[in-house]
């Protein structure tokens, strides 16, 4: 039995897949689709920045990542995601007065210098870079809806739950926040987690396993997937593609995986759907990172009609 809750917001929003053929979002009474074009809610990009920030704030609250949220003034304890935006200003040289080209990234890894953050952005596909007003920004918003459905974290958004089912869903959310939820950290190799001290410890371990300069054999090489020769025995390798990571290349760490593992920015993906993990939010299970959608599906069946677990 479905509840008579209010229809989702966004009525009339055009479909970004159908373009001009859809008259605008017409919510189904219980399925998460548009009645006009049958496309999903994500294709209509129904949420706003404020709604997305509230959703992620709710997800991260009551977890060890609550420091990435802030309390809303007068919001009765509601917390909002402190999303890190990045504005890059590049001067345009001309004969006349200098002008500036400003690029706004709707999200960027927090706690980095702009130089390192830009290095990170350059290592992900251009069509996925969340530059305001581009397909990359739309892709990010779509992935927020797809990978982190509101009804997977807020039992009040689920249809027709009994009191007992509501309590079970609340316990489910509380459990995955404590045991699986994580947010990736971007740093240079060896500098994740506790920072440089742990990186130095890793460096010492690597150094201890290497023969001395006087006794070691000539450095061997191995052929990479693109045919180039790479030095063997590099201390840092991407956990997904297994390729060496240069010391000056930013990588992603997942604290639930331990800081002996790192990923290229483009390789930090869900183990089920292989999609990049939006805003580096992951769920750790069975030695791998999952997006929120597929993590929940791995533990509870998802209804093919209403899309709820």
In a domain, 152, yes or no: no
pLDDT at 208: 39
pLDDT at 207: 39
57 SS3 class: helix
In a domain, 252, yes or no: yes
In a domain, 145, yes or no: no
In a domain, 178, yes or no: no
Q: Which residues pair with 288 in a beta bridge?
A: 285
pLDDT at 95: 61
In a domain, 201, yes or no: yes
Number of Cβ atoms within 10 Å of the Cβ of 113: 8
Model confidence pTM above 0.85: no
pLDDT at 214: 35
In a domain, 147, yes or no: no
**Rounded CA gap, 6 and 92, in Å?**
50
Q: What are the strands, taking DSSP E only, across 227-297?
A: 229-231, 251-253, 281-285, 288-290
- Classify residue 221 by burial, with Cβ atoms within 10 Å: 0-12, 13-18, 19+: exposed
**Rounded CA gap, 93 and 283, in Å?**
46
Distance of CA 61 to CAs 65, 146, 197, 216, Å?
7, 20, 29, 52
pLDDT at 29: 66
Q: What are phi and psi of 102, to 5 degrees?
A: -105, 130
List the domain range (segments joined by +) for residue 28: 1-46
In a domain, 211, yes or no: no
Number of Cβ atoms within 10 Å of the Cβ of 112: 19
> What secondary structure letter does DSSP report for 287?
T
Query: How many domains are there within the chain?
Result: 2
Mean pLDDT per 10-residue interval, the chain, length 309 residues:
44 70 72 72 71 95 95 87 94 72 94 96 96 94 94 91 94 97 97 59 40 38 38 75 95 97 98 98 98 97 90
HSE toward the beta carbon, residue 123, CA cutoff 13 A: 23
pLDDT at 229: 38
Where residue 276 sits, what CATH number does that domain have?
A: 2.10.110.10
In a domain, 138, yes or no: no
**Rounded CA gap, 201 and 190, in Å?**
9
Q: Which residues pair with 101 in a beta bridge?
A: 90
Contacts (Cβ under 8 Å, ≥6 apart) of 245: 189, 234, 236, 237, 238, 251, 262, 264
């Amino acid at each position: 039995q479905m509840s008579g809750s209010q229809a989702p917001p966004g009525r009339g929003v055009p479909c970004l897949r159908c373009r001009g053929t859809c008259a605008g979002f017409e919510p189904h009474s219980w399925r998460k689709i548009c009645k006009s074009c049958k496309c999903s809610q994500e294709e209509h990009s129904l949420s706003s920045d404020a709604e997305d920030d509230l959703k992620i704030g709710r997800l991260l609250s009551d977890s060890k990542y609550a420091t990435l949220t802030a309390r809303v003034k007068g919001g009765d304890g509601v917390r909002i995601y402190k999303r890190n935006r990045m504005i890059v200003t590049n001067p345009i040289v001309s004969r006349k007065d200098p002008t500036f080209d400003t690029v706004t990234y709707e999200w960027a890894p927090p706690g980095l210098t702009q130089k390192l953050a830009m290095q990170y952005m350059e290592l992900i596909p251009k069509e996925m870079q969340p530059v305001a007003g581009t397909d990359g920004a739309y892709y990010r918003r779509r992935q927020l809806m797809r990978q982190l459905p509101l009804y997977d974290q807020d039992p009040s958004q689920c249809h027709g739950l009994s009191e007992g089912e509501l309590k079970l869903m609340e316990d489910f959310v509380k459990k995955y926040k404590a045991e699986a939820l994580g947010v990736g950290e971007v740093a240079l190799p060896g500098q994740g987690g506790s920072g440089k001290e742990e990186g130095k410890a890793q460096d010492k371990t690597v150094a201890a396993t290497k023969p001395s300069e006087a006794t070691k054999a000539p450095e061997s090489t191995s052929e990479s997937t693109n045919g180039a020769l790479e030095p063997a025995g590099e201390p840092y390798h991407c956990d997904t593609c297994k390729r060496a990571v240069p010391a000056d290349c930013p990588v992603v760490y997942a604290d639930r995986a331990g800081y002996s593992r790192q990923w290229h920015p483009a390789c930090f993906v869900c183990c089920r759907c292989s999609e990049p993990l939006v805003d580096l939010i992951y769920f750790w299970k069975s030695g791998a990172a999952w997006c929120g959608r597929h993590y929940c599906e791995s533990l509870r069946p998802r209804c093919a009609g209403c899309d709820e677990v």
